[in-house]
Amino acid sequence: MAAVVTSKGFTETALLMTGGTATAWQSIAIGTGSQTESVDNTALITEVAASGLARVKCATASVTDSSYTGDTCLFVHTFTAQSTYAIKECGIFNSSANGDMLCYGTFATAVPMSSDDTLKITWSVQVKAG
């Protein structure tokens, strides 16, 4: 289980910092494939499109405090399965379809979703001094 901000994520961040045109990160997707986490990741391997688990606008997409006031992006969403899936990957996107993947992560072991199970995912992305 690891998570990375992708090169597209860095680009969007730089655009926002300079007042350029950037699209907010608000959509979350999960998938049944997996790949090594890398800044070069651009999409999920096998994004789930089934009802209840399909890409969706996060219920919460806001900023919160970590080291400084409002320095951390917080993305929270709860998916509800309507069938059986083994969820292995997750990403945050700037579009409800296609678009740029701004962060990517995999779960240490597949999350075995059964019908009516819920999966609450919380992404936090902090901007801080290294």
Which positions touch another protein (CB under 8 A)? 1-5, 9-10, 13, 37, 90, 103, 105, 107-109, 111-130
Give whichever of 61 and 119 is closer to another protein, judged by the CB atom. Answer: 119
Q: What CA–CA distance (Å, rounded) separates 58 from 29?
A: 9
Q: Do 92 and 75 touch, CB atoms closer than 8 A?
A: yes
State in angstroms the smallest separation of the CB of 16 from another protein: 12
**In whole angstroms, how close is the CB of 15 to another protein at the nearest point?**
14
Instruction: Please say which residue, 42 or 124, places its beta carbon nearer to another protein.
Output: 124
Task: Provide the minimum distance between the beta carbon of 6 and another protein in the complex, in angstroms, as a whole number.
Answer: 9
User: Which CB, 65 or 116, lies closer to another protein?
Assistant: 116
Nearest approach in angstroms of CB 97 to another protein is: 22
Q: In the numeric block, which tokens belong to residue 108?
A: 């240490």
Helix (H/G/I), strand (E/B), else coil: 34: coil
Positive or negative, the Cα torsion across 109, 66, 78, 3? negative
- State residue 41 phi and psi, 5-degree precision: -60, 135
Non-local CB neighbours of 39 within 8 Å, separated by 6+ positions: 4, 5, 6, 7, 10
Residue 93 or 123: which CB sits closer to another protein? 123
